Structure formats: C-alpha cells, structure tokens
Structure 1
C-alpha cells in the first residue's frame, strides 16, 4: 500500500474531526429528548430555516415551518431510507391519534432526489402531510444549529418546533406515536 501524501493525511484528519463533531453534536441514540447540544432554541427567536419558503411537492403550495400556530414535527429523510419509511408509517398512526393538532413536515435532504421522486414516494405510501425538498441553504442552517447528523436519514433525525418559536431536537431512531404525542403536548 502506498503511503499517504501530507494532503491526503490532512484530508482524512479533517473528515475524522467532522465525524467526531457530528457525534458530539447529536448523533447519539440515547433516550434524551434532545441532542444534548445547544439546539433547544428556547429563546423564542426564529432561525432562518424556520422562515424559509418551502414548496409542498404534493400540492405545489409554498409554506414555512414558522407559519403554523401549532406544534410542527420536522423530519429530514431520503426516499431510499427504510428507517425513514418506518417512521413515516408511524406518522400515519400518529396523525390518526392527534388529527390536525400537529403538523408534520418531511424535508428530503438527498441532493440526488428531486421533487418528483419525493412526490411519488409520498403518494405511493399514502403520506399526505407536507413534503419538500430541502434547499441547500436550509440544510446548512439545520446542520449549523442541530449538528451534522441532521443529514443522516437512517438515524431518523426529527425536530419539534413549538408555536412559541422554540425548537427541540428529538431523540434519534424510531419514535413511537405515544412518544411523539408526549413531546407535542409539551409545546
């Protein structure tokens, strides 16, 4: 095996640092309701990602997370992600239990997937909540505020945005209907 050039060694060290930062900023799978970072957003101020204009791929209508005057679950996902599909199947049960008292927003963060692919995914599985392709700027803002694991669909990243403007990173992994109801009731 050839030895690494100085440039390659520095590049690998940088990737390792980014990976470690992602782990420290919220990649855990513990039972805490947040990522342990500063992502609680409890000040009531609105971050730019919350005000970003998004397009619902199912209807073509534009919306923003901050426009809703009720709790909003924001999930980052990819069409290929089986863990995401499992969580979205759970959201059907969740919405049967809570009705329209909570809004769900699924943000596709895979740069290789477009609005048409996301629309087909949602329609083929009977998902009828807000689906959008996350603009690059929004994805960056989510990473800046909640950590790099927001771009790791298999860990099922999810946020809870409350009407007061605060946002909490929920635990990673599959979230049950009862867990989501409990969290939303805390808004």
Structure 2
C-alpha cells in the first residue's frame, strides 16, 4: 500500500465512514440538542419563498402547506447522502403508520443538484412526501434562521407546527423517535 493513489483512496474511504457514522449516530432524543427556540412562522422568510415539487411540478410555499393545519416535517437532504436516504425511509414508515397526519417536505440543499436528479432519486426510492430543490434565497434564509449546520451536516430536521418552526437537529431520527417528537408538540 505504498502507492499514493491507494493511500488517498483509503483516506477518502475512512473520511466517508466517519462522515456517515457521524450523520447516523444520534444518541439523544433530538429535542435536548442545543437548538434555537421555536421561531414564529410569520418571521421566517424561507417559509414564503416559492418552491416547486420535483415530481409534480406544482409550485407552493411552506406557508401555503402550513395552511392545511398539519405539522410539516422538513428534512434537508442531498441525493448523494446515504444518511439522508435513511432518514427519508424512516419518515416514510412514520407516514405509512400515521396516514394523513402530517406533511413530509424534503429540501435538497446541494446547489450542484437539480430537479431532474431529485425527481429520479425520489421515484427510484419511492419516498413519500413533497421534494424540492432549494432555491438559493431559500437556503440563505434557512441558514439565517437555523445556522450554517443546516448545510454542513445532513440530514437536518425542522418541524413546523402551530405557527412555529422548531429545529430538531441533525442525524437520522428513527420512526419511533420522530413519532415521540411529534407527540411532544403543543396541540
């Protein structure tokens, strides 16, 4: 293993393993993490920025989705992120076991990815929900609200309910943990 190419490959594999393990490990309950206090939805710019469903092409906004009166589970993701796909599978299970109780919104925040890639990824994996490619101004506003970790570590989860947005944290939240978090939200 004295070949520089092999050494670089090994280093990249180790880095990827560390990155994925860091994304997957989530020993807390998701609510006890350090996070901003719930923010009033009316104060959040990214809630009103138009977003387009990658599968249907329908344009909406989070504020418009919120008018349905259901909690919205927002997951930031990227097509290349295995932990993100794990999270979307867990949320799909939650949705299947609690039909029509909330809205799933996946927001691809990788500026190198496009709507066609997101649509292909969602259809291939049969993920449930609405999936969008974040416009630049959406991502910038999200960073202002949550902080830079929203683009530095994927996936991130935000729950919007009762006119407030609560940043839950990063990492993969299993179905039962998400269900517990949702049950702790004020009615």
Q: In the alignment, what sits opposite 1:47? A: 44
Q: 1:51 & 1:170 partners in 2: Cα distance?
A: 21
For each residue in 1:128-171, what CA deviation from the matched residue of structure 2 results, as whole angstroms up to 9, or x when unmatched? 310000011110111111111111353x2010000x22011113
Gaps of 5+ in 2: 1-25
Q: In the alignment, what sits opposite 1:66? A: 63
Q: In the alignment, what sits opposite 2:10? A: none
Query: Following TM superposition, where does structure 1 have runs of at least 4 consecutive aligned residues deviating by more than 6 angstroms?
Result: none
Gaps of 5+ in 1: 1-27
Q: 1:115 & 1:140 partners in 2: Cα distance?
A: 19
> Of residues 165, 168, 171 in structure 1, which corresponds to 2:166?
168
How many residues align? The count is 157
Q: 1:65 & 1:34 partners in 2: Cα distance?
A: 25
For each residue in 1:102-150, what CA deviation from the matched residue of structure 2 results, as whole angstroms up to 9, or x when unmatched? 1010000111100000000000000131000001111011111111111
Q: 3-state DSSP class of the match of 2:159?
A: strand
Q: 2:27 & 2:147 partners in 1: Cα distance?
A: 14
Q: 1:134 & 1:153 partners in 2: Cα distance?
A: 16
Q: In the alignment, what sits opposite 2:144? A: 144
TM-score, structure 2 normalization: 0.77
8 Å contact from structure 1 (residues 40, 169) kept in 2 = yes
Could you say what the CA RMSD is over the residues aligned between the two structures, in angstroms?
1.9
Q: 2:80 & 2:41 partners in 1: Cα distance?
A: 34
Q: Identify if the C-alpha distance between structure 1 residues 113 and 151 changes in structure 2 by more than 3 Å, giving closer, same or farther.
A: same
Q: 3-state DSSP class of the match of 2:42?
A: coil
Q: 1:34 & 1:146 partners in 2: Cα distance?
A: 16
Q: In the alignment, what sits opposite 2:86? A: 86
Q: 1:149 & 1:44 partners in 2: Cα distance?
A: 20
For each residue in 1:7-66, what CA deviation from the matched residue of structure 2 results, as whole angstroms up to 9, or x when unmatched? xxxxxxxxxxxxxxxxxxxxx97445165243521x453411111111001100011112
For each residue in 1:68-98, what CA deviation from the matched residue of structure 2 results, as whole angstroms up to 9, or x when unmatched? 2210011111000000011111112111111
8 Å contact from structure 2 (residues 50, 61) kept in 1 = yes
